[in-house]
Amino acid sequence: MTKYRSIWTGLLGAIAALLFLTPTALAFCGFYVAKADTSLYNEASQVIIARNGDRTVLTMANDYQGEVADFAMVVPVPTVLQEGQVNVGDPAIVQRLDDFSAPRLVEYFDPDPCEPMMMFDEAEALPAAPQATTTRGRAADGALGVTVEAQFAVGEYDIVILSAEESDGLETWLIQNGYQIPTGASELLQPYVRQGLKFFVAKVNLEEFDRTGFQQLRPLQIAYESPRFMLPIRLGMMNAQGAQDLVAYLLTPDGQVELTNYRTVKIPSNANIPSFVEAEFGEFYGTMFDRSYERENKEVAFLEYAWSMAGCDPCSADPLSPEELRQAGVFWLAPNSSIWDTNVYVTRLHVRYSRDKFPEDLMFQQTNNLEFFQGRYVMQQPFLGEATCSAGADYRRSLPTRFEQEAQTLARLTGWDINDIRRRLPDVREANFDPNPWWEDLWQRSSQLLSPVVHQG
């Protein structure tokens, strides 16, 4: 069963076109300290979609676990693909995009409230992100209604492009030709057959795989043209035991990408949370995502990141270089482009879907929305040094209230018990709040010269 699930989820995201409230920390720069990447999820499919106009490059990351001899991928595509339109990608590119766009925990430090306020040196700030301005062979099987439109090998994969008149015939053909697909696949294949789509079918050439020396299957990339900007996910539900996670990295020259047939919702963000969360950020984010998923009735896509590739603040990883972007499918970049001329906008959408909540494939649209957004969570570290002025005393007295607000925010986001959270907050009750004993304030002697009185006469 695990084998079959992997067969379909490696491709599910893949078939396009067919397929914060924290103050600015007194203007001090923050530091990224942790991120929530796809390793949080046991079965998270990843797909990169680079699209400009009607042209699309789709990168499908394989999460297949099992014997490579049993691997099969079946992807609906809008046109017959030729050998030159298919490429074997570098898995490091998928990881780079995940690292760059992952929700992040950032850290700020309160300054000494008794020190003179320093003007923020803009020259030391992170640079602001600029606004993103083979031979075809035909072998028809009359009984099954399946035609082999093209057949070729790319890297360690043997590729066949099929057309079909009936989904039953397509299922039968695949099984008869040694493709390890679940029996009963025709029900999910049928809508694609009716739309006249072709089928990109891949399996592993074992000799070539052994020769390459790779330990895992590499991503497959396909390039095509189609006015339809969509991602078929229904095939990924074939043997699903529950909801599945899909993370899509959408690269465009214009702005954010949104769904048209499901709501796109920003993940809760820009929240101040207690500093102890640093040691368990993955658990925090996973729990918060689950709670948000339930609150939205399990039928939305979550926006986790939207930003120009030319910058980030704070960065959880360096922006991808122009060459890396080209490896990710960004075909509109000229070779040897400058990082400042990349005009690439990345949208990270996280969809958790199931049969009952996501009955349709994902339909996308490009927008001109250049608003920056990131899943960002803030640890505002307090200044706990000695208070040597009245402002310092006031600051220290304010900390318990601030810590309580952070605790309530964490409880609201995760559902964790508020009393358990409170027990883990910093204790500032024994701190020396005032520079002088309280009675000195009463007698107002701290500024007087305490010297003997001299009586004259």
Which pLDDT score is estimated for 6?
38
Q: Which structural domain range is residue 140 located in? A: 2-379
- Does the residue 455 lie in any domain? no
168 and 295 together in one domain: yes
- Does the residue 456 lie in any domain? no
402 and 303 together in one domain: no
184 and 310 together in one domain: yes
Which pLDDT score is estimated for 154?
94
414 and 361 together in one domain: no
35 and 115 together in one domain: yes
Domain boundary among 326, 350, 379: 379
- Domain count of the fold of the chain: 2
- Does the residue 200 lie in any domain? yes
356 and 290 together in one domain: yes
List the chain pLDDT tens, one digit each, 457 residues: 333 333 333 344 333 323 322 333 333 345 667 788 887 776 678 999 999 999 999 999 877 777 788 788 888 999 999 999 999 999 999 999 999 999 999 999 999 988 866 554 443 444 444 433 333 334 445 578 999 999 999 999 999 999 999 888 888 898 888 887 776 778 888 889 998 999 999 988 888 888 877 777 899 999 999 999 998 887 766 655 678 899 999 999 989 999 999 999 999 999 999 999 999 999 999 999 999 999 999 999 999 999 998 888 888 888 999 999 999 999 998 877 777 777 899 999 999 988 788 888 899 999 999 999 999 999 999 988 887 888 888 888 899 999 999 999 999 999 999 999 999 998 775 444 445 666 666 676 554 544 445 455 4
182 and 275 together in one domain: yes
- Does the residue 457 lie in any domain? no
309 and 393 together in one domain: no
- Does the residue 176 lie in any domain? yes
339 and 406 together in one domain: no
- Does the residue 249 lie in any domain? yes
Domain boundary among 326, 351, 379: 379
306 and 271 together in one domain: yes
- Does the residue 450 lie in any domain? no
312 and 405 together in one domain: no
Domain boundary among 379, 400, 423: 379
Count of beta carbons in the 10 Å neighbourhood of residue 227:
8
Which pLDDT score is estimated for 105?
94
- Does the residue 359 lie in any domain? yes
268 and 393 together in one domain: no
